[in-house]
Chains A and B, each alone.
Chain A
Amino acid sequence: MSAILRLEGLSKRFGALAVSQDICLELAPGRLHALIGPNGAGKTSLINQISGALAPDAGRIFFEDEDVTRLGLAQRARRGLVRSFQVASLFDGFSALDNVALAAQARAGSSFRFFARAGKAADLNAKARVALDRVGLGERVGRRAGELSHGERRLLEIAVALACQPRLLLLDEPFAGLGVEESAEALALLQTLKTEVTMLLVEHDMEAVFALADDVSVLVGGRLIASGAPEAIRQSPAVREAYLGEEEAA
């Protein structure tokens, strides 16, 4: 089967700092691909380029065999290339329900509708509730996003992404800053999610990565140094030296 996402020679510099160096990567549909790497390796920068928030200096991005390199963030999102943010990016003044309902609204035809109350749109609210229930925020629908705890915001971030009906979901460190219990819940959530949607998961939590991933790629200093099955990556001396060893030493 052909790749859902293909990166061809992606390169990006911030001044003298090369955050992406000739990155080539293919994601197979139906799988969960994990992207690991030390702090500052360029993982978020790569997600930004794939999602369209950041333009690469060179290289091309194909999503479902379409060249999307020149498309903006919104255009890619409408095609089903959906991302979450490492630092939860929400509408703090809106309720949790409205945050997710707005994502559902983005997939429900034109939003140039000026009279009917959006808050009473039963179809959007129903979709939003389903997504919120999935991530375990069913009890918090009426809370303003700004009032939620850190962990709840991370879960809301995932609910928003789900309501966007992703064909490929880019998750940027969904476990960051979660407590032990919350982590376990998020892990269980992703376990079931991975059977429904293709994912690219950026994560530091090695336990989560090796529990979830079908494939793993390792990014160090803007370069993909290895890509393969989780077991192979775990055993690879190069990876150990460049990355895993660092963690163990720390």
Chain B
Amino acid sequence: MNWRAVVPGFGFAALALVPLAARWGPEAYALNLATRALIFALAAMSLQFMLGCGGLVSFGQAAYLGLGAYAAAILARYGGGDLLLEAGTAIPAAALFAVATSAISLRAKGVYYIMSTLAFGQMLYFFFVSLSALGGDDGVTLDARARLAGTDWLASDRAFYYAALAALALGYLLLDRIVGSRFGRVLGAIRQNPLRVRALGFEPFRYQLAACAISAALCAVAGVLLANLNSFVSPAFMTWQRSGDLIVMTVLGGVGSLGGAILGALAYLLASELVSTYTEHSGLWIGPALVLVALRGRGLAGLVWGGR
């Protein structure tokens, strides 16, 4: 049997057992933390698709998280608080924002690309800070958790956890297919040798632009989920520090590995949570750990299952 095909199955099965285990502990707290970890895993995986697979180091990924969250908040306020509707709005909104800004960012290369994604992220951040209709800096509270296709099924924290897990698993399957597709092959080739790709007759820009849109769409779903988990949205969802956290999670997990991004996000959030119960300076411990993993080369994915 193919080991690579088995790892994701085991991984998601283990995650499905978390709510059962949580019953033996502080259930509400544990479920909340675990759900948050899954949502960030989805966001980190969406970034991994761009960063690891496409070679595009976006420093503005939190903007898509914020767009998704605000889409949920706006719909919730005007009575459209259904998860499917929220996702159906957030996805095109984030994809459009990604296409519009990446069309400009992608013209810059290397560190200039990184800086321009940061700049667009900051623009969106300050836009929501100044948007007093949605609470500006203070953010906005969602009255109730979103419904799912008309049912109030998601009101249960456990059900909401499974909704987040389903989104993560679907996202994983989707991205895994895309990475292995013709499109994904071109994208991976562009990361390795853009000049060669052009000499074959491909225009890298189009493929990278599409990759940005796909990544943004998935990250926006994470934003929708996060808004509903917290019942609250504020510009703090989309700070550049948050974008940096997402980069840390993907690098920690192993650049290029979708499963690694999930592992990286889970490890990062749980470690921060654990360390912060003992000390205020969690960065002091996570920093060296990150350096170690980065030096080892292939991240947690390399340690746990030896590669992608």
Contact A121 B182 (CB under 8 A): yes
Q: Quote the shortest CB–CB distance from A53 to chain B (angstroms).
A: 7
User: Which of the residues B180, B192, B199, B210 comes within 8 Å of A118, measured between beta carbons?
Assistant: B180
Inter-chain CB contacts under 8 Å: number: 92
CA distance A160 to B196 in the complex (A): 10
- Residues of chain B contacted by A92 (CB below 8 angstroms): 192-193
**Contact call B193/A107, Cβ cutoff below 8 A:** no
- What's the Cα separation between A115 and B188 when bound, in Å? 15
B201 within 8 A of A: yes
Question: Do A115 and B185 touch (CB < 8 A)?
Answer: no
Per-position 1/0 for B141-158, Cβ under 8 A of A? 000000000000000000
Q: A90-B193, A111-B186 are in contact. Are A117 and B181 (CB under 8 A)?
A: yes
A111 vs B178: C-alpha distance in the bound complex, in angstroms?
A: 12
Is A195 engaged at the interface, CB distance under 8 Å to the other chain? no
**Interface members, chain B 272-305 (any A CB < 8 Å):** none
Count how many chain A residues have C-beta atoms less than 8 Å from C-beta atoms of the other chain: 35
A122 lies within 8 A of chain B by Cβ: no
Q: Knowing A114-B181, A114-B183, A117-B180 touch, does A94 contact B189 (C-beta < 8 A)? A: yes
A118 CB contacts on chain B under 8 angstroms = 180-182, 184-185
Among A141-180, those with CB < 8 Å from B are 160, 164
Residue of chain B at shortest CB distance from A78: B201
A102-B185, A113-B182 are known contacts. Are A90 and B202 too (CB-CB below 8 A)?
no
- A90 CA to B186 CA, complexed, in Å: 13
CB pair B196–A164 under 8 Å, yes or no, is: no
A75 CB, min distance to chain B CBs, angstroms = 8
Interface band, chain B: 20 to 34
User: How far, in whole Å, are A77 and B199 apart by their CA atoms in the complex?
Assistant: 6
Known: A89-B193, A112-B210, A115-B177. A51 touches B183 (CB 8 A): no
Q: Considering the chains assembled together, what is the distance between the CA atoms of A118 and B177 in angstroms?
A: 10
With known contacts A89-B193, A91-B189, A74–B203 Cβ distance under 8 A: yes
**Residue B195, interface by CB 8 Å:** yes
Q: What string of 1s and 0s marks CB contacts (under 8 Å) between B195-207 and chain A? A: 1101111110001
Taking a contact as CB atoms under 8 Å apart, the answer to whether B196 and A115 are in contact is no
B163-218 contacts to A, CB under 8 A, are: 177-178, 180-186, 188-189, 192-193, 195-196, 198-203, 207, 210
With A and B bound together, what is the CA distance between A180 and B127 in angstroms?
67
Contact status A116-B201, CB under 8 Å: no
In chain A, positions 47-95 with a C-beta closer than 8 Å to chain B are 51, 53, 72-75, 77-78, 82-83, 85, 89-94
Q: Mark A94-130, 1 if CB is under 8 A from B, else 0.
A: 1000100011011100011111111101000000000
Nearest-neighbor residue (CB-CB) of A117 within chain B: B180
Chain B residues whose CB sits within 8 angstroms of the CB of A116 once the complex forms: 181-182
Q: Which of A91, A113, A116 has the most CB of B within 10 A?
A: A91
A90-B196, A92-B192 are contacts. A115–B202 as well, Cβ < 8 Å?
no
A-chain residues with CB within 8 Å of residue B200 when the two chains form the complex: 74, 77, 102-103, 106, 160, 164
The distance in angstroms between the C-alpha atoms of A29 and B193, with both chains bound, is 31
- Please, which residues of chain A bring their CB within 8 A of the CB of B189? 91, 94, 102
**Residues of B contacting A94 in the complex (Cβ-Cβ under 8 angstroms):** 188-189, 192
Given contacts A77-B199, A106-B201, A113-B181, 14 further A-B contacts (CB under 8 A): A53-B198, A72-B203, A74-B199, A77-B200, A89-B196, A90-B196, A91-B192, A93-B188, A94-B189, A102-B185, A106-B200, A107-B201, A118-B184, A164-B200
Give the B-binding residues of A (Cβ under 8 A).
Answer: 51, 53, 72-75, 77-78, 82-83, 85, 89-94, 98, 102-103, 105-107, 111-119, 121, 160, 164
Question: Can you list 7 A-B contacts (CB < 8 A)?
Answer: A74-B200, A102-B186, A103-B200, A115-B177, A116-B182, A117-B177, A117-B180
